[in-house]
Amino acid sequence: MKQADVRPKVFCIGLNKTGTTSWAYAMAELGYIVGSETKATMFFDDWVRKDFSRIIDYCRTQGQAFQDIPFNLPGTYREMDHAFPESKFVLTVRDTADAWFHSLINFHGKYWSLSGHIPPTTEDLARAVYWRRGFLADYCREVFKTPISDPYNRELLLDFYNDYNKEVVNYFTDRPGDFLVLNVSQAGAYYRLCGFLGLPSGKGEFPWLNRT
Angle, CA of 103, 21 and 181, to the nearest 5°: 80
8 Å CB contact between 111 and 84:
no
Tell me the average pLDDT across 61-71. 98
Residue with the bigger pLDDT between 29 and 160: it is: 160
pLDDT of residue 45 exceeding 80, the answer is yes
Tell me the average pLDDT across 189-195. 94
CB atoms within 10 A of CB 183: 18
E strands of 104-162, at which residues?
Answer: 129-130, 132-133
Lowest mean pLDDT of 109-113, 188-192, 203-207, name the range: 203-207
C-alpha closest to that of 197 among 1, 3, 6, 10 = 10
Give Cβ neighbours of residue 74 (< 8 Å, ≥ 6 apart): 143, 164, 167
8 Å CB contact between 183 and 37:
no
3-state secondary structure of 61: helix
Decide: residue 190, CB within 10 A, 0-12 exposed, 13-18 middle, 19+ buried. Answer: buried
* pLDDT score, position 208: 64
Calculate the average pLDDT of the chain. 92
Any idea where the domains of the chain sit in the sequence?
3-96+164-197, 98-156
pLDDT of residue 206 exceeding 70, the answer is no
* pLDDT score, position 7: 86
8 Å CB contact between 114 and 124:
yes
CATH fold for the domain made of 3-96+164-197: Rossmann fold (3.40.50)
pLDDT digits (tens, 9 = 90+) for 135-190: 999 999 999 999 999 999 999 999 999 999 999 999 999 999 999 999 999 989 99
Tell me the average pLDDT across 41-70. 98
* pLDDT score, position 212: 55
